[in-house]
Amino acid sequence: MVGIEETHCTARIHENLDDPERSDFFSTRAGRISTLNSLNLPVPRLVRLNAIRGVLYSGGIMLPHWTANAHTVLYVTGGQAKIQVVDDNGQSVFNAQVHQGELLVVPQGFAVVKTAGETGFEWIAFKTNDNAYMNTLSGKTSYLRAVPVDLIKAAYGVTEEEAKRVKFSQQETMFAMTLSS
């Protein structure tokens, strides 16, 4: 019988999040995201953390998203980006450029958009749940796709045609490019 100590000693405890071939989300023009959680490495469960390595190329955008079950600590490892954060009431709580060496804490449930600067943007983020779940606000798997058109129409005060455009126009869920790119 194998004891708990022996199980921990033989557990895999290393992963290269910087390997582009290992990316969970990838766009040839916008960037890539790699995640590490207790589903692909057992150690995060012990410390109840999840790690994300992100790279956005010049002009790349990580579309609006929020983490429902964890807070996020983001550390900028390279380049710069404009990051916008809104709280769960839609109020802007952060809208500024971040640069290498800076740290940003995003509470759970707050929505985030990252837009890379001219030199691109690289970061590592730690989430306070070993299986943190990121929800998207755009694209085919977004929250808006589940909302009835009539509700979007009423919430935004737009026509039915405009509400359908809001709901269905964006196909990508994770990445986009700025218009100037």
Query: Would you say 126 and 54 are in contact if contact means Cβ atoms under 8 Å apart?
Result: no
Answer yes or no: pTM beyond 0.75: yes
User: Which domains does the chain possess?
Assistant: 14-134 (2.60.120.10), 138-174 (no CATH)
Inter-axis angle of helices 149-156 and 160-168, to 10 degrees? 110
**Cα distance between residue 83 and residue 15, in whole Å:** 27
The pair of structure tokens assigned to 121 is 């943007």
State residue 23's pLDDT score. 83
The pair of structure tokens assigned to 117 is 């600067």
Q: Where are the alpha helices (DSSP H) in the chain?
A: 4-10, 43-47, 143-146, 149-156, 160-168
Strand ranges, E, within the chain: 25-27, 31-36, 50-56, 60-67, 72-86, 92-99, 103-106, 111-127, 134-136, 175-177
State residue 138's pLDDT score. 73
- pLDDT by residue for the chain (181 residues), tens only, comes to 455 555 555 566 767 778 888 888 888 889 999 988 888 777 777 888 999 999 999 999 998 889 999 999 999 999 999 999 999 888 999 999 999 999 999 999 999 999 999 999 999 999 999 889 888 877 777 777 787 888 877 766 778 887 777 677 666 667 777 766 5
State residue 101's pLDDT score. 98
**Cα distance between residue 179 and residue 162, in whole Å:** 21
Residue type, 29: R
The pair of structure tokens assigned to 178 is 């700025």
State residue 75's pLDDT score. 99
Neighbours of 94 (CB within 10 A): 15
State residue 11's pLDDT score. 65
Residue type, 58: S
In sign, the C-alpha dihedral spanning 92, 93, 99, 103 is negative
